[in-house]
Amino acid sequence: MMAERNDDVLLRVEHLSMYFGRGKYKNKAVNDVSFDIKKGEVFGLVGESGCGKTTTGRTIIRLYNATSGSVYFKGQRIVAGTRSYLDKIAELRQEGGHEKEIEELKKQIASAKYDHKKADKKLVNKIQMIYQDPIASLDPRMTVKEIIAEGLKIQGVHDKAFIDKEVLRMLETVGLVAEHATRYPHEFSGGQRQRIGIARAIIMNPELIIADEPISALDVSIRAQVINLLNDLCHSMGLTILFIAHDLSVVKYFSDRIGVMYYGNMVELADSDELFRHPLHPYTRSLLSAIPLPDPATERDRIRIRYNPLTDHEYTTETPEFREVCPGHMVRCTLKEFEEYKKKVQD
């Protein structure tokens, strides 16, 4: 099944949900999230710990099986969940008299299962991931050369000379040297380990990199080096990056567009400059108010905005929806909030 054609869009996420558990114990880690990433851009995904950022990235790369929704990469559906169809069928059966709708939903379930199972593995391999913890993500029993070359070997490359050449090239690309190839992960610093993880990802010649908080486990002095490395790779290799983080100040520097997640939902999405100029959702304003300032005098007077969804919203009479307040600026809100947000943007 093909998505709506748009040559600029590399990745499209449509109504993606990822639930853990069932019944009353169900945890909606990701709930009805939609966004797209254009070729060549850096898309930042931010939010506090536990909001569903990492789960979104892992579901996109098929480390988790999506509960519902779809992910399209280069126009092909590579992820397809079915629970939303099953829930709708159960609802229609309870009402009775909807046999045609049920049959159509069954066809969509069959199509989703087929697309998910038959997704082109070579296409999926064009998406690679850089993990948050550079220690846990590297096998301590493998040398650096074995770690970086593992993806090539899995894909059936057995030319030893070619593998050696590519590994050395990747080491140089990420700022390491040939002598590092025979060492083990415990012999490196955190920043060097993360460079090894980056080399392991880019040796597969990907088109999309999912960077899952790649600097959060590193010293502050090393973070800028890794960010600059990713920025250089983005330009030199033409990479597209989904950059997952909880630090909005870093995301602003690195990202073209930013999506803000809270409690499994995407609550705001806009261009980086627009989001910082007109933060509309109260949770986004709360995140921005938490960014520390380099001026001690200003920092002393900084006022934190507290976000409380029970008092900041009125959802008892209307369910919020993702709405476009101005071109490219989306906010999860009710109709009443939507009108208020439009006035704020115009002011």
Is residue 63 within 8 A of residue 55, CB to CB? The reply is no
What pLDDT shows up at residue 7?
56
What pLDDT shows up at residue 3?
39
**In this structure, what token pair is assigned to residue 199?**
């080399």
Backbone dihedral region for residue 170 (phi beyond 0: left; psi -120 to 50: alpha; all else: beta): alpha
Domain 9-125+252-346 listed as CATH 3.40.50.300: yes
Q: pTM to 2 decimals?
A: 0.90
Q: 134-246: CATH homologous superfamily?
A: P-loop containing nucleotide triphosphate hydrolases (3.40.50.300)
What pLDDT shows up at residue 4?
40
The answer to whether domain 9-125+252-346 and domain 134-246 are alike in fold is yes
pLDDT per residue over 269-322, tens digit each? Answer: 999 999 999 999 999 999 998 888 778 888 888 888 999 999 999 998 899 999
Regions in the chain scoring below 50 on pLDDT: 1-6
* Domain ranges for the chain: 9-125+252-346, 134-246
